Amino acid sequence: MSRHLSVAKVVLDNPLPHLDRLFDYQIPEELDETCVPGVKVKVKFSGRNMEAWVVERVELTSHHKKLSDITKVISNYPVLVPEVLQLCQ
């Protein structure tokens, strides 16, 4: 992947309706190749380790503070198909 798309928009793997939106996370350089739309990742959210799905990669974020890093790519290959990713947006 390209380093200029270093922000991932993710949807948390969580059933709570108020968390049913996209969150921005920084993609560390060492995860650049494997952190692609459709893969499952681990992120820190409110101090807890949570699983999430990468929906898309973007260049910029509207978030004003420093982004948290994605900590791990769980699935080495995209699991979600493009149609499902569109529903997440």
Please check the confidence at residue 2 and state whether its pLDDT lies above 60.
Answer: no
Concatenating the DSSP letter of every residue in the chain gives --TT--EEEEEES---GGG-SEEEEE--GGGTTT--TT-EEEEEETTEEEEEEEEEEES--S--SPPPBEEEES-SS--S-HHHHHHH-
| Model confidence band, residue 80 (pLDDT cutoffs 50, 70, 90) | confident
Q: What is the reported pLDDT for 86?
A: 72
Identity of residue 70: I
pTM exceeds 0.75: yes
Residue ranges per structural domain of the chain: 7-78
> What CATH topology corresponds to 7-78?
GIY-YIG endonuclease (3.40.1440)
The lowest-confidence range among 22-36, 38-52, 53-67 is 53-67
